[in-house]
Structure 1
Amino acid sequence: MNNKKTSLLSLVIGAPIGCLGGLIGLGGAEFRLPFLLKTFSKTAKKAVALNMLISLITVASAIYFRMNNFDVSPIYPQILLMISLIVGSTTGAYFGIELSTKISDALFKKVLLILLLIMGLLLISESFITFGSMGILFSSLYMMLVVAILCGVLIGIISSLLGVAGGEVIIPILILIFGIDVKLAGTMSLIISLPTMLVGITRHAKNKMYTKKSEIKYLVIPMGVSSIIGASIGAFLVIYAPSELLKIILGALLIFTSIKLFTEKEE
Protein backbone atom coordinates (compact mmCIF):
# COMPACT_ATOMS: atom_id res chain seq x y z
CA MET A 1 0.00 0.00 0.00
CA ASN A 2 1.50 3.35 -1.03
CA ASN A 3 1.84 6.30 1.34
CA LYS A 4 -0.96 8.36 -0.24
CA LYS A 5 -3.46 5.50 0.04
CA THR A 6 -2.34 4.75 3.61
CA SER A 7 -2.82 8.38 4.62
CA LEU A 8 -6.27 8.60 3.01
CA LEU A 9 -7.44 5.32 4.57
CA SER A 10 -6.12 6.44 7.96
CA LEU A 11 -8.20 9.61 7.77
CA VAL A 12 -11.31 7.75 6.57
CA ILE A 13 -11.05 5.00 9.21
CA GLY A 14 -9.99 7.21 12.13
CA ALA A 15 -12.90 9.67 12.02
CA PRO A 16 -15.86 7.26 12.40
CA ILE A 17 -14.02 5.19 15.03
CA GLY A 18 -13.27 8.40 16.93
CA CYS A 19 -16.90 9.46 16.58
CA LEU A 20 -18.14 6.14 17.97
CA GLY A 21 -15.62 6.40 20.78
CA GLY A 22 -16.93 9.87 21.60
CA LEU A 23 -20.49 8.58 21.62
CA ILE A 24 -19.82 5.77 24.08
CA GLY A 25 -17.10 7.50 26.11
CA LEU A 26 -14.06 5.49 24.95
CA GLY A 27 -10.98 6.27 22.87
CA GLY A 28 -11.91 3.72 20.20
CA ALA A 29 -8.50 1.96 20.25
CA GLU A 30 -10.14 -1.49 20.44
CA PHE A 31 -11.90 -0.81 17.14
CA ARG A 32 -8.76 0.57 15.46
CA LEU A 33 -6.79 -2.57 16.25
CA PRO A 34 -8.57 -4.94 13.82
CA PHE A 35 -8.08 -2.38 11.03
CA LEU A 36 -4.38 -2.09 11.81
CA LEU A 37 -4.11 -5.87 11.69
CA LYS A 38 -6.20 -6.50 8.60
CA THR A 39 -6.54 -3.34 6.46
CA PHE A 40 -2.97 -2.13 6.99
CA SER A 41 -1.50 -5.67 7.28
CA LYS A 42 0.56 -4.96 10.40
CA THR A 43 1.92 -7.69 12.61
CA ALA A 44 0.22 -8.00 16.01
CA LYS A 45 3.12 -6.40 17.90
CA LYS A 46 3.48 -3.55 15.39
CA ALA A 47 -0.29 -2.93 15.39
CA VAL A 48 -0.32 -2.62 19.19
CA ALA A 49 2.66 -0.24 19.19
CA LEU A 50 1.10 2.03 16.54
CA ASN A 51 -2.30 1.83 18.25
CA MET A 52 -0.73 3.09 21.47
CA LEU A 53 0.69 6.15 19.70
CA ILE A 54 -2.73 6.98 18.19
CA SER A 55 -4.35 6.40 21.60
CA LEU A 56 -1.90 8.86 23.15
CA ILE A 57 -2.92 11.58 20.66
CA THR A 58 -6.61 10.93 21.34
CA VAL A 59 -6.29 10.82 25.14
CA ALA A 60 -4.05 13.92 25.37
CA SER A 61 -6.59 15.93 23.35
CA ALA A 62 -9.49 14.57 25.44
CA ILE A 63 -7.73 15.65 28.65
CA TYR A 64 -7.16 19.14 27.20
CA PHE A 65 -10.84 19.54 26.23
CA ARG A 66 -12.07 18.22 29.59
CA MET A 67 -9.76 20.47 31.59
CA ASN A 68 -11.07 23.48 29.71
CA ASN A 69 -14.75 22.57 29.87
CA PHE A 70 -15.28 20.82 33.20
CA ASP A 71 -14.66 21.59 36.85
CA VAL A 72 -11.74 19.35 37.81
CA SER A 73 -11.56 20.37 41.49
CA PRO A 74 -13.31 17.10 42.63
CA ILE A 75 -10.18 15.27 41.41
CA TYR A 76 -7.92 16.85 44.06
CA PRO A 77 -9.12 14.66 46.99
CA GLN A 78 -8.41 11.59 44.82
CA ILE A 79 -4.76 12.41 44.12
CA LEU A 80 -3.35 9.61 46.34
CA LEU A 81 -5.67 7.06 44.73
CA MET A 82 -4.66 8.21 41.25
CA ILE A 83 -0.94 8.12 42.08
CA SER A 84 -1.30 4.54 43.39
CA LEU A 85 -3.16 3.45 40.26
CA ILE A 86 -0.53 5.13 38.07
CA VAL A 87 2.33 3.43 39.97
CA GLY A 88 0.63 0.08 39.39
CA SER A 89 -0.36 0.73 35.78
CA THR A 90 3.06 1.99 34.67
CA THR A 91 4.66 -1.06 36.31
CA GLY A 92 2.13 -3.33 34.58
CA ALA A 93 2.73 -1.63 31.23
CA TYR A 94 6.51 -2.02 31.58
CA PHE A 95 6.37 -5.74 32.31
CA GLY A 96 3.46 -6.36 29.92
CA ILE A 97 5.50 -5.13 26.97
CA GLU A 98 8.55 -7.03 28.23
CA LEU A 99 6.42 -10.19 28.23
CA SER A 100 5.07 -9.51 24.73
CA THR A 101 8.62 -9.37 23.30
CA LYS A 102 9.37 -12.87 24.57
CA ILE A 103 6.55 -14.66 22.74
CA SER A 104 6.07 -15.30 19.02
CA ASP A 105 3.95 -12.95 16.95
CA ALA A 106 1.49 -15.75 16.18
CA LEU A 107 0.92 -16.46 19.88
CA PHE A 108 0.78 -12.76 20.67
CA LYS A 109 -1.94 -12.31 18.03
CA LYS A 110 -4.01 -15.04 19.70
CA VAL A 111 -3.60 -13.35 23.11
CA LEU A 112 -4.55 -10.05 21.51
CA LEU A 113 -7.74 -11.38 19.94
CA ILE A 114 -8.82 -13.12 23.15
CA LEU A 115 -8.43 -9.79 24.98
CA LEU A 116 -10.50 -8.09 22.27
CA LEU A 117 -13.21 -10.73 22.76
CA ILE A 118 -13.21 -9.96 26.50
CA MET A 119 -13.41 -6.22 25.74
CA GLY A 120 -16.41 -6.85 23.50
CA LEU A 121 -18.17 -8.84 26.22
CA LEU A 122 -17.33 -6.14 28.78
CA LEU A 123 -18.74 -3.46 26.48
CA ILE A 124 -22.02 -5.39 26.10
CA SER A 125 -22.31 -6.13 29.84
CA GLU A 126 -21.71 -2.46 30.73
CA SER A 127 -24.73 -1.52 28.62
CA PHE A 128 -26.97 -3.62 30.91
CA ILE A 129 -25.40 -2.49 34.17
CA THR A 130 -26.21 0.87 35.70
CA PHE A 131 -23.15 1.77 37.69
CA GLY A 132 -23.87 3.48 40.95
CA SER A 133 -21.01 4.82 43.04
CA MET A 134 -20.61 1.62 45.02
CA GLY A 135 -17.12 1.10 46.38
CA ILE A 136 -15.56 -1.12 49.03
CA LEU A 137 -15.15 -0.01 52.62
CA PHE A 138 -11.42 -0.39 53.22
CA SER A 139 -10.14 -0.88 56.77
CA SER A 140 -7.40 1.71 56.22
CA LEU A 141 -5.98 4.14 53.68
CA TYR A 142 -2.94 1.88 53.25
CA MET A 143 -5.12 -1.09 52.33
CA MET A 144 -6.95 1.02 49.74
CA LEU A 145 -3.67 2.19 48.20
CA VAL A 146 -2.29 -1.38 48.02
CA VAL A 147 -5.48 -2.53 46.24
CA ALA A 148 -5.17 0.48 43.91
CA ILE A 149 -1.60 -0.49 42.99
CA LEU A 150 -2.66 -4.09 42.27
CA CYS A 151 -5.59 -2.88 40.14
CA GLY A 152 -3.19 -0.56 38.36
CA VAL A 153 -0.91 -3.47 37.44
CA LEU A 154 -3.85 -5.22 35.76
CA ILE A 155 -4.77 -1.99 33.91
CA GLY A 156 -1.17 -1.54 32.73
CA ILE A 157 -0.86 -5.09 31.43
CA ILE A 158 -4.11 -4.81 29.44
CA SER A 159 -3.14 -1.37 28.13
CA SER A 160 0.30 -2.55 27.00
CA LEU A 161 -0.98 -5.73 25.34
CA LEU A 162 -3.74 -3.97 23.38
CA GLY A 163 -2.20 -0.53 22.89
CA VAL A 164 -5.29 1.06 24.43
CA ALA A 165 -5.94 3.74 27.04
CA GLY A 166 -7.86 1.14 29.07
CA GLY A 167 -10.88 3.27 30.03
CA GLU A 168 -13.28 0.33 29.77
CA VAL A 169 -11.30 -1.33 32.59
CA ILE A 170 -10.26 1.74 34.60
CA ILE A 171 -13.74 3.28 34.85
CA PRO A 172 -15.53 0.19 36.29
CA ILE A 173 -12.63 -0.29 38.76
CA LEU A 174 -12.89 3.32 39.94
CA ILE A 175 -16.67 3.07 40.35
CA LEU A 176 -17.13 -0.47 41.70
CA ILE A 177 -14.06 -0.74 43.94
CA PHE A 178 -13.29 2.84 44.95
CA GLY A 179 -16.78 4.39 44.83
CA ILE A 180 -15.92 7.20 42.40
CA ASP A 181 -18.78 9.05 40.70
CA VAL A 182 -19.23 7.92 37.08
CA LYS A 183 -18.60 11.37 35.56
CA LEU A 184 -15.48 11.96 37.64
CA ALA A 185 -14.25 8.44 36.82
CA GLY A 186 -14.14 9.32 33.10
CA THR A 187 -11.77 12.25 33.67
CA MET A 188 -9.65 10.34 36.19
CA SER A 189 -9.40 7.44 33.74
CA LEU A 190 -7.90 9.69 31.06
CA ILE A 191 -5.31 11.13 33.46
CA ILE A 192 -4.34 7.67 34.78
CA SER A 193 -3.97 6.24 31.27
CA LEU A 194 -1.63 8.99 30.01
CA PRO A 195 1.55 8.02 31.95
CA THR A 196 0.70 4.34 31.40
CA MET A 197 0.78 4.84 27.64
CA LEU A 198 3.94 6.98 27.84
CA VAL A 199 5.73 4.08 29.55
CA GLY A 200 4.37 1.71 26.90
CA ILE A 201 5.47 3.96 24.05
CA THR A 202 8.96 4.35 25.57
CA ARG A 203 9.28 0.56 25.76
CA HIS A 204 8.02 0.12 22.19
CA ALA A 205 10.50 2.74 20.99
CA LYS A 206 13.31 0.87 22.75
CA ASN A 207 12.18 -2.27 20.93
CA LYS A 208 12.49 -0.34 17.62
CA MET A 209 8.78 -0.33 16.81
CA TYR A 210 8.81 3.28 15.56
CA THR A 211 11.84 3.25 13.28
CA LYS A 212 9.73 3.41 10.10
CA LYS A 213 8.99 7.13 9.81
CA SER A 214 6.46 6.66 7.00
CA GLU A 215 4.16 4.76 9.43
CA ILE A 216 4.17 7.73 11.80
CA LYS A 217 3.71 10.31 9.05
CA TYR A 218 1.14 8.55 6.87
CA LEU A 219 -0.72 6.35 9.37
CA VAL A 220 -0.40 7.46 13.00
CA ILE A 221 -0.71 11.24 12.55
CA PRO A 222 -3.63 11.20 10.04
CA MET A 223 -5.54 8.58 12.05
CA GLY A 224 -4.81 10.41 15.31
CA VAL A 225 -6.02 13.76 13.95
CA SER A 226 -9.15 12.28 12.37
CA SER A 227 -9.85 10.37 15.63
CA ILE A 228 -9.80 13.67 17.54
CA ILE A 229 -12.18 15.28 15.04
CA GLY A 230 -14.45 12.23 15.13
CA ALA A 231 -14.42 12.11 18.95
CA SER A 232 -15.42 15.79 19.19
CA ILE A 233 -18.33 15.15 16.81
CA GLY A 234 -19.31 12.06 18.82
CA ALA A 235 -19.25 14.04 22.07
CA PHE A 236 -21.59 16.59 20.47
CA LEU A 237 -23.98 13.91 19.16
CA VAL A 238 -24.06 11.94 22.43
CA ILE A 239 -27.35 13.56 23.52
CA TYR A 240 -29.04 12.25 20.37
CA ALA A 241 -27.64 8.72 20.24
CA PRO A 242 -28.74 5.72 22.34
CA SER A 243 -25.30 5.03 23.87
CA GLU A 244 -26.39 1.79 25.59
CA LEU A 245 -27.63 0.33 22.30
CA LEU A 246 -24.41 1.46 20.62
CA LYS A 247 -22.38 -0.41 23.23
CA ILE A 248 -24.28 -3.62 22.49
CA ILE A 249 -23.86 -3.24 18.72
CA LEU A 250 -20.18 -2.28 18.92
CA GLY A 251 -19.42 -4.99 21.50
CA ALA A 252 -21.03 -7.60 19.24
CA LEU A 253 -19.11 -6.23 16.25
CA LEU A 254 -15.85 -6.41 18.19
CA ILE A 255 -16.54 -10.02 19.18
CA PHE A 256 -17.43 -10.96 15.59
CA THR A 257 -14.32 -9.27 14.18
CA SER A 258 -12.07 -10.88 16.79
CA ILE A 259 -13.44 -14.37 16.06
CA LYS A 260 -13.05 -13.77 12.32
CA LEU A 261 -9.43 -12.68 12.70
CA PHE A 262 -8.74 -15.50 15.17
CA THR A 263 -10.05 -18.21 12.83
CA GLU A 264 -8.46 -16.70 9.74
CA LYS A 265 -5.60 -18.73 8.31
CA GLU A 266 -2.24 -16.99 8.07
CA GLU A 267 -1.11 -16.38 4.52
Structure 2
Amino acid sequence: MITDALWAQVRLGVAAGLGIGAVAAIIRVSGSELLIPTIVLLFGQDIKTAGSLSLLVSLPTMLMAFARYSQDGSFVVLGTNRRFALVMVAGSIAGAVLGGLLLLGVFADLVLIPVLAVVLLDSAARLARHD
Protein backbone atom coordinates (compact mmCIF):
# COMPACT_ATOMS: atom_id res chain seq x y z
CA MET A 1 0.00 0.00 0.00
CA ILE A 2 1.28 3.45 -0.89
CA THR A 3 1.29 5.82 2.05
CA ASP A 4 0.49 9.52 2.05
CA ALA A 5 4.14 10.26 2.86
CA LEU A 6 5.26 8.35 -0.24
CA TRP A 7 2.76 10.23 -2.42
CA ALA A 8 4.03 13.52 -0.98
CA GLN A 9 7.59 12.48 -1.80
CA VAL A 10 6.57 11.53 -5.35
CA ARG A 11 4.84 14.89 -5.87
CA LEU A 12 7.85 16.73 -4.46
CA GLY A 13 10.18 14.71 -6.69
CA VAL A 14 8.15 15.46 -9.81
CA ALA A 15 7.99 19.18 -8.97
CA ALA A 16 11.73 19.30 -8.26
CA GLY A 17 12.45 17.39 -11.47
CA LEU A 18 10.35 19.76 -13.55
CA GLY A 19 12.01 22.80 -12.00
CA ILE A 20 15.52 21.44 -12.34
CA GLY A 21 14.83 20.26 -15.90
CA ALA A 22 13.53 23.68 -16.91
CA VAL A 23 16.49 25.52 -15.39
CA ALA A 24 18.93 23.01 -16.91
CA ALA A 25 17.39 23.48 -20.34
CA ILE A 26 17.50 27.27 -20.07
CA ILE A 27 21.15 27.46 -19.02
CA ARG A 28 22.20 24.42 -21.10
CA VAL A 29 23.58 22.19 -18.37
CA SER A 30 22.78 18.69 -17.18
CA GLY A 31 21.23 19.93 -13.95
CA SER A 32 23.50 17.98 -11.60
CA GLU A 33 24.57 21.15 -9.85
CA LEU A 34 20.95 21.51 -8.76
CA LEU A 35 19.99 17.86 -8.61
CA ILE A 36 22.59 16.67 -6.10
CA PRO A 37 21.76 19.29 -3.44
CA THR A 38 18.03 18.64 -3.99
CA ILE A 39 18.44 14.91 -3.44
CA VAL A 40 20.54 15.49 -0.32
CA LEU A 41 18.48 18.29 1.21
CA LEU A 42 14.91 17.40 0.22
CA PHE A 43 15.10 13.62 0.26
CA GLY A 44 17.77 13.04 2.92
CA GLN A 45 20.01 10.81 0.81
CA ASP A 46 23.76 10.65 1.33
CA ILE A 47 25.89 12.51 -1.19
CA LYS A 48 27.25 9.37 -2.86
CA THR A 49 23.73 8.10 -3.53
CA ALA A 50 22.77 11.58 -4.74
CA GLY A 51 25.69 11.62 -7.17
CA SER A 52 24.75 8.23 -8.57
CA LEU A 53 21.10 9.21 -8.90
CA SER A 54 22.15 12.46 -10.55
CA LEU A 55 24.05 10.56 -13.23
CA LEU A 56 21.06 8.32 -13.85
CA VAL A 57 18.57 11.19 -14.00
CA SER A 58 20.83 13.45 -16.07
CA LEU A 59 21.27 10.96 -18.90
CA PRO A 60 17.82 11.54 -20.49
CA THR A 61 18.28 15.30 -20.04
CA MET A 62 21.63 15.20 -21.81
CA LEU A 63 20.23 13.03 -24.62
CA MET A 64 17.37 15.49 -25.17
CA ALA A 65 19.78 18.42 -25.11
CA PHE A 66 22.06 16.65 -27.58
CA ALA A 67 19.14 16.07 -29.96
CA ARG A 68 17.93 19.65 -29.64
CA TYR A 69 21.35 21.25 -30.06
CA SER A 70 22.11 18.98 -33.02
CA GLN A 71 19.02 20.28 -34.79
CA ASP A 72 19.76 23.97 -34.25
CA GLY A 73 23.44 23.79 -35.24
CA SER A 74 24.85 24.50 -31.78
CA PHE A 75 27.61 21.93 -32.25
CA VAL A 76 29.15 23.75 -35.23
CA VAL A 77 31.35 25.68 -32.80
CA LEU A 78 32.98 22.41 -31.75
CA GLY A 79 34.50 22.02 -35.20
CA THR A 80 36.27 25.35 -34.90
CA ASN A 81 37.47 24.47 -31.39
CA ARG A 82 38.20 20.79 -31.96
CA ARG A 83 41.49 20.61 -30.02
CA PHE A 84 40.00 22.40 -27.02
CA ALA A 85 36.94 20.12 -27.09
CA LEU A 86 39.10 16.97 -27.26
CA VAL A 87 41.28 18.14 -24.35
CA MET A 88 38.15 18.88 -22.30
CA VAL A 89 36.66 15.46 -23.12
CA ALA A 90 39.91 13.70 -22.16
CA GLY A 91 40.14 15.68 -18.93
CA SER A 92 36.51 14.98 -18.12
CA ILE A 93 36.92 11.24 -18.62
CA ALA A 94 40.12 11.14 -16.56
CA GLY A 95 38.53 13.25 -13.83
CA ALA A 96 35.43 11.07 -13.72
CA VAL A 97 37.50 7.90 -13.41
CA LEU A 98 39.79 9.37 -10.75
CA GLY A 99 36.90 10.98 -8.87
CA GLY A 100 34.92 7.76 -8.92
CA LEU A 101 37.87 5.80 -7.57
CA LEU A 102 38.59 8.35 -4.86
CA LEU A 103 35.00 8.81 -3.73
CA LEU A 104 34.14 5.15 -3.41
CA GLY A 105 34.72 4.63 0.27
CA VAL A 106 37.59 7.10 0.67
CA PHE A 107 35.90 10.38 1.59
CA ALA A 108 33.10 10.71 4.12
CA ASP A 109 29.95 12.72 3.43
CA LEU A 110 31.12 15.21 6.06
CA VAL A 111 33.98 16.08 3.70
CA LEU A 112 32.12 15.81 0.39
CA ILE A 113 29.15 18.05 1.23
CA PRO A 114 31.25 21.13 2.16
CA VAL A 115 33.45 20.56 -0.91
CA LEU A 116 30.34 20.44 -3.10
CA ALA A 117 29.04 23.62 -1.46
CA VAL A 118 32.32 25.44 -2.15
CA VAL A 119 32.37 24.28 -5.78
CA LEU A 120 28.76 25.38 -6.31
CA LEU A 121 29.35 28.78 -4.69
CA ASP A 122 32.52 29.31 -6.71
CA SER A 123 30.69 28.36 -9.91
CA ALA A 124 27.84 30.74 -9.09
CA ALA A 125 30.26 33.59 -8.39
CA ARG A 126 32.16 33.00 -11.62
CA LEU A 127 28.94 32.81 -13.60
CA ALA A 128 27.70 36.06 -12.04
CA ARG A 129 30.92 37.82 -13.13
CA HIS A 130 30.89 36.33 -16.63
CA ASP A 131 29.97 38.67 -19.49
Task: Please indicate the TM-score interval, normalised by the length of the shorter structure.
Answer: 0.7 to 0.9
Q: Distance in 2 between matches of 1:6 and 1:59?
A: 25
Distance change in 2, residues 1:7/1:120 (3 Å): same
**What are the equivalent positions in structure 2 for 1:84-95 lying under 5 Å apart?**
84-95=87-98
Distance change in 2, residues 1:121/1:44 (3 Å): same
Residue by residue, what CA displacement relative to the aligned partner does 1:21-54 show, whole Å, maximum 9, x if unpaired?
3333333322222211111111011111211222
Q: Which SS does the other structure have where 1:39 is aligned?
A: helix
Distance change in 2, residues 1:31/1:72 (3 Å): closer
Structure 2 runs not aligned, ≥5 long: none
Distance change in 2, residues 1:42/1:71 (3 Å): closer
2:53 aligned with 1:38, yes or no? no
Q: Distance in 2 between matches of 1:35 and 1:78?
A: 34
Cα root mean square deviation, aligned:
2.2
Residue by residue, what CA displacement relative to the aligned partner does 1:45-90 show, whole Å, maximum 9, x if unpaired?
1111211222222111100111123264453354443233212210
Q: Which SS does the other structure have where 2:43 is aligned?
A: coil
Q: Which SS does the other structure have where 1:103 is aligned?
A: coil
**What are the equivalent positions in structure 2 for 1:1-267 lying under 5 Å apart?**
2=6, 4-70=7-73, 72-101=75-104, 102-126=106-130, 129=131
TM-score, normalised to structure 1, is: 0.42
Q: Percent identity?
A: 23
Residue by residue, what CA displacement relative to the aligned partner does 1:4-27 show, whole Å, maximum 9, x if unpaired?
443322211111222223333333
Structure 1 runs not aligned, ≥5 long: 130-267
Q: Is the 8 A contact 2:47 2:112 kept in 1?
A: yes
1:103, distance to aligned residue in structure 2 (A)? 1.1
Aligned length: 126
1:94, distance to aligned residue in structure 2 (A)? 0.5
Q: Distance in 2 between matches of 1:124 and 1:81?
A: 24
Q: Is the 8 A contact 2:25 2:65 kept in 1?
A: no
**What is the identity, as a one-letter code, of the residue corresponding to 1:65?**
R
Distance change in 2, residues 1:11/1:106 (3 Å): same
**What is the identity, as a one-letter code, of the residue corresponding to 1:121?**
A
